[in-house]
Amino acid sequence: MSDLKKIKDNFFSKLNQNLGLSEINQIKSDLFGKNGLISSQFKKIGSINESERKKFASELNILKDELQDLIDSKINDIKKDEINRKLEKEKIDVTLPERSFVRGKIHPVSQTIDEISAIFSEIGFSIEEGPDIENEYNNFTALNTPDNHPARDMHDTFYLDKKKEKLLRTHTSPVQIRTMLKDNPPFKIIAPGRTYRSDSDQTHSPMFHQVEGLHIDKNINMGDLKGCLNYFIKEFFEVEKIKMRFRPSHFPFTEPSAEVDIGYEIKDGKIVIGEGDKWLEILGCGMVHPKVLKNVNVDPLKYQGYAFGIGIDRLAMLKYGINDLRSFFECDYRWLSHFGFDPLDVPTNYRGLSR
């Protein structure tokens, strides 16, 4: 039997057994590798005598093609089988119930900040932001807060260095300073954000939120302040009428200063804002002190105006019936699912305060 016939018989019967991919690849290299059987036969061609060479070469080429085709088709079959097996196993069961999908909620404080920002931006206030880490000058000195003021005490303020130059801002009022230093009057801004004091109990958290307001122009008086706050409170609590009173107070950065209370009553265990004979303090305000204006190079004889600082968390608690301030900051997912807001409930006319 000729060599070619032997190779043919031997490998055809081998290839027709049930082989795996690695065995077929092995056969492929046994035949066509550098020293494979077929490759060796090709090398032999030159030494065959002329009369037989042509015939041998043509038989060898035919055999080579046959073996190659057989190997290719076997490899193809194995790959197809594999794909079919996978498809069989990974069949999608369209009758299975869908996976549950949970949409995140907007925290009530974020929602409240957006609502406040929307209301003020409708009456011409723009939004400013300042950093949580402030310097002593912006937080106290420029705001006319004397060295011996209790707010400067270690017990009230988180200082970040021994020299007491850097601190976590104790209020949003330093944004007034930043705003007035970087621009020329008039100013009409609000500045919502985080504030910090060394305080913690049921109604105080070491981190809380305020919104600062500042309106400086040539003809701004306390009547404007009253009108602005009255409008805001009615809009925020969505009531037609609001009982509001200004109580004389003291802040170093305003003269005169006032605290504002709103009227409320308890009806069926629920707090109703705007009526009743009980009073609730919600903000501090006043006419910006001439010394503050001088500190930021604004001439107090030409420009005056008002400022206010509102506790955001307190407003959110009142509006949404949340009675423990600490729950805002405990990051309890169940609490957030209950009190949080759908992302689409955010007022559309104001968006985008960085959080």
Q: Which single residue is written with the structure tokens 């300042």?
A: 130
Contact set for ligand DAH, span 186-225 (CB under 6 A): 212
Q: How far apart are the C-alpha atoms of 26 and 154, rounded to whole Å?
A: 80
Binding of residue 171 to ligand DAH (CB under 6 A) = yes
DSSP-derived 3-state class of residue 180: helix
| Residue of the chain from 192, 193, 263, 286 that contacts ligand DAH (CB under 6 A) | 286
Query: 321, 269 in Cβ contact below 8 A?
Result: no
Binding of residue 174 to ligand DAH (CB under 6 A) = no
Instruction: Using CB positions, name the residue nearest to ligand DAH.
Output: 309
Cα separation of the two ends of the chain: 87
Shortest distance in whole angstroms from residue 257 CB to ligand DAH: 6
For 298, list phi and psi in degrees, rounded to 5. -110, 130
| Residue of the chain from 120, 208, 236, 251 that contacts ligand DAH (CB under 6 A) | 251
For 31, list phi and psi in degrees, rounded to 5. -90, -50
Q: Position 338: which residue type?
A: H
Q: How far apart are the C-alpha atoms of 166 and 124, rounded to whole Å?
A: 33
Site size with ligand DAH, rule: CB under 6 A? 11
Stretch near ligand DAH under the rule CB under 6 A, chosen from 26-34, 46-54, 270-278, 281-289: 281-289
Instruction: Count CA atoms closer than 13 A to 309's CA, side-chain side.
Output: 20
Cβ closest to ligand DAH, residue 128 vs residue 212? 212
Contact set for ligand DAH, span 112-141 (CB under 6 A): none
| Residue of the chain from 71, 167, 216, 285 that contacts ligand DAH (CB under 6 A) | 285
For 185, which DSSP code?
A: S
Shortest distance in whole angstroms from residue 310 CB to ligand DAH: 8
Q: Which single residue is written with the structure tokens 């290839």?
A: 15
Shortest distance in whole angstroms from residue 266 CB to ligand DAH: 27
Stretch near ligand DAH under the rule CB under 6 A, chosen from 19-27, 54-62, 222-230, 278-286: 278-286
Q: Position 247: which residue type?
A: R
Binding of residue 309 to ligand DAH (CB under 6 A) = yes
Q: CA distances (Å), 85 to each of 19, 49, 159, in order?
A: 17, 52, 67
Shortest distance in whole angstroms from residue 332 CB to ligand DAH: 27
Shortest distance in whole angstroms from residue 336 CB to ligand DAH: 27
Q: CA distances (Å), 112 to each of 236, 237, 265, in order?
A: 9, 11, 22
Binding mask 57-96 for ligand DAH (x = CB under 6 A): ----------------------------------------
DSSP 166-234: EEE-SSSTHHHHHHHHHS-S-EEEEEEEEEE-S--BTTB-SEEEEEEEEEEETT--HHHHHHHHHHHHH
Binding of residue 254 to ligand DAH (CB under 6 A) = yes
Query: 191, 128 in Cβ contact below 8 A?
Result: yes
Cβ closest to ligand DAH, residue 36 vs residue 252? 252
| Residue of the chain from 211, 292, 307, 336 that contacts ligand DAH (CB under 6 A) | 307
Binding of residue 284 to ligand DAH (CB under 6 A) = yes
User: Which residues of the chain form contacts with ligand DAH (CB under 6 A)?
Assistant: 171, 173, 212, 251, 254, 284-286, 307-309
